[in-house]
Amino acid sequence: MCGICGFNWQDEETVSRMTATMQHRGPDQGGTYANQAVSLGHRRLSIIDLSERGRQPMGSEDKRVWLVFNGEIFNHRSIRASLEKKGYVFRSGTDTEAILHAYQEYGYKCLEHFNGMFAFCIWDARNHTLFLARDRLGIKPLYYYYDEASNKLIFASEIKAMLQNPALSQEIDPQALYDFIGFEFVPSPNTIFKKIRKLPAGHYMTLSEKGLEVLPYWDVSFDTVVRPREEIESELVSRLEAAVRLRLESDVPLGVFLSGGIDSSSVVAMMSRIMGEGVPTFSLGYREAAFSEFSYAKKVADHFKTKHTELLIDPVSEEDIEKVIWHLDEPLSEFSVLPYYLICRKAREHITVCLSGEGGDELFIGYDRFKASKFERLFRSMPYPMRWSLFKAARMITDSPKKKGFLNSARRFLEGAALDASGYQMRWQYFLGRRDRDALFLKDYVNQVDMDPFKPIRRLLESSGMESELDRALYVEQRFMMAENPLMKVDKMSMAHGLEIRTPLLDYEFVEYANSIAGSLKLEGWTTKSILKSAMKDILPEGIAYRPKHGYSFPIKHWLRKELSGYMQETLLNSSILKDYFEMAYVRRLIQEHQGGQHNHSHILWSLMNFAVWHRLFIKN
């Protein structure tokens, strides 16, 4: 795990400054390379071959090809063996050198050989070309800025590094801000900055005499293969074990996050098969019992005889919140971001590499929003007057503690069902209802943006060619949501502490197999992840496979009414940027209604806070 950066002209001072900004991503080593055509920077977190031979930027023997690389190529040993038969000589045991020689042998098609998580840049002086790529699922981020008039390209693992370059514009993108308030993240390829883009997952980019080209090299597909259920379950377990085994190579201490849910418990089960007893496991909990999963995690840990550590999280500080927003680079207000930052900080005291269960929900239909989407299709069959009456009634449901459970869930369902059906299950991941949308934004700002939030989803699906509603929904989850929300959280929060996270459920071969399983086996009736649960139920301790989903979260709704109440008001009402986009009288109303318990506005308020703090840290300061 590392941080990379660079641009296509010579300036050692600027590239050194960009590189130093990402020291948290690579505390072990730093390096730069510059010539008349390119400047490259790298920070290294040493995981495999800790010697100086792994230092980057890494050059070829003739010094005409240079590489900076962030991530891990888990099958680098087999790539190395194949290349050695072709006459290539390796000077280190690193996966970095495997990328370098694979490019020399295969060119851009080297991407077809890599199984891993990666973002890299190769400078090839032989054809005067920069070649950049991001892994298939988007586990590792890669940002870039390109000015066509001057033909200047700047790239980095983090935006904060790019901002060290004086050639870069820092103008806010109004559309990205609007999308963020609704989705709680900025969809790819946009960022909160108008001129900075994300390289999409499964894409590569070249800058040559032809100019800049961004091209796909892989995409998820859903070609269902019909097999007996027993065969599917057996192969799922076998493939997961293989994916875990591939991710256990490390020259530094290694462990696994364990929540006690189906995904992380399955990873622990496979690690225990391979490594035996004593696998280091870590779980997160709060003093508020409703938000803790210690009991489930301990049950799994005891069953597999792991070396288990419970990390108790106290109410967060304002300092923690601002550190999280600084590390994120752009607003991302998913509630699980902050606890993930805290568990990574605690885990780094014990280990340098950690496996995690990310990806299971996106592969096997794990979110309740899939169930809401299925129920909505039944709801649409009701007579329109009855539906309209229910929509009106939903607006009357307050956020009273006495009305927890069914009524609040019903309100959230009806709010999502009222949105455009082309948003698929993302309607229940969208937190900007019509009333808030009409009242929150200044009219001058509204005129600058497209108010249709689901246009990017429709555009994404236009060329997919998929007919199954569930397959289309999963495509949206894996291609619209996953890389820029949960995986961005995992990368930024772990690398804030120099901790490497490996996600075996997102091994691309495992993903391809999972996507070949019929959607009807993943959501059976109202049971989510059905095929994965039935495959793992006899391997995991009783009661774990079918337990309700919890996930990393924290009690933000309550904290904004209590511990963080003053911080929220100070942040929102004293912000110098919010008044340029939002009706502050309505913001005050949201605060009052939330703190008074009439409504739960935690999603919008937390997003506004994230944007206000982000602006102060990245623009104002």
Tokens coding 218: 């892989």
High-pLDDT (> 70) share of the chain, % = 93
Q: Do 134 and 140 meet the contact criterion of CB atoms below 8 Å apart? A: yes
10 Å Cβ neighbour count for 550?
Answer: 14
- Which residues partner with 69 through β-bridges? 120
Residue 297: other Cβ atoms inside 10 A = 27
Catalytic-residue membership of 2: yes
Residue 237 has pLDDT above 60, yes or no: yes
Q: Which of 2, 5, 344, 354 is catalytic?
A: 2
* SS3 call for 343: helix
User: Residue 458: phi, psi to the nearest 5?
Assistant: -60, -40
Question: Alpha-carbon distance 380 to 378, whole Å?
Answer: 5
CA distance 393 to 139: 42
pTM assigned to the model: 0.94
Task: Give the C-alpha separation, 193 to 321, whole Å.
Answer: 21
State both tokens at 398: 């307050």
DSSP 199: P
- The confidence score (pLDDT) of residue 361 equals 96
Q: In sequence order, what DSSP letters do the residues of 290-327 get, joined into one string?
A: GG--HHHHHHHHHHHT-EEEEEEEPPPPHHHHHHHHHH
Question: Residue 405's pLDDT band (boundaries 50, 70, 90)?
Answer: low
- Domains identified in the chain and CATH numbers: 2-216 (3.60.20.10), 229-359+482-536 (3.40.50.620), 367-481 (no CATH), 555-621 (no CATH)
pLDDT at 396 over 90: no
Better-scored residue on pLDDT, 412 or 392: 412
49 sits in the region (left: phi over 0; alpha: psi -120 to 50; else beta) called left
CA 510 from chain centre, in angstroms, equals 18
Lowest average pLDDT, out of 43-57, 154-168, 202-216, 533-547, goes to 43-57
Per-residue pLDDT tens over the stretch 356-389: 999 999 999 999 999 999 988 878 777 767 766 7
